């Protein structure tokens, strides 16, 4: 039994030594992951805002870009009340860019 106790003690010492190195490693991996995620989100936001700068309008969601709002029988139509017949709506990113550029 003394041999088994000695091996168990050696294994326990190795585990405690490894435990001292694990938290900094976990913190390093976690910090790297957070920074990578933040960089990815920043690139996506900049890309979306650049797209909103180039293409400021999207199709109206109510009339699907036709500019017309029909009756239930589809024989008569009028201009879409949401987009006033243009078929376009200003994208959210473009509204944010316009609001910040006026200040």
pLDDT in tens, 16-55: 666 666 666 666 667 778 888 899 999 999 999 999 999 9
pTM for this one?
A: 0.61
Characterize the bridge pairing of strands 68-70 and 77-79.
antiparallel
Handedness of CA 49, 53, 58, 61 (dihedral sign): positive
Helix axis angle for 92-101 and 2-54, nearest 10°, is: 70
Q: Is 67 helix (H, G, I), strand (E, B) or coil?
A: coil
pLDDT at 43: 97
Spans of all domains in the chain? 1-54, 57-103
Residue pLDDT, tens place only, 60-99 = 988 888 888 877 777 788 888 889 989 999 999 999 888 8
The string of pLDDT tens digits covering residues 3-13 is 777 777 777 67
């Amino acid at each position: 039994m003394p041999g088994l106790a000695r091996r168990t003690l050696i294994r326990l010492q190795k585990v405690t030594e490894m435990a001292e190195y694990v938290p900094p490693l976990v913190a390093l991996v976690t910090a790297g992951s957070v920074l990578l995620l933040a960089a990815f989100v920043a690139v996506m936001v900049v890309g979306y805002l650049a797209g909103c700068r180039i293409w400021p309008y999207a199709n109206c969601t109510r009339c699907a870009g036709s500019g017309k709002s029909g009756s239930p029988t589809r024989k008569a139509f009028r201009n879409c009340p949401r987009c006033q017949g243009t078929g376009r709506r200003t994208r959210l990113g473009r509204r944010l860019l316009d609001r910040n550029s006026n200040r």
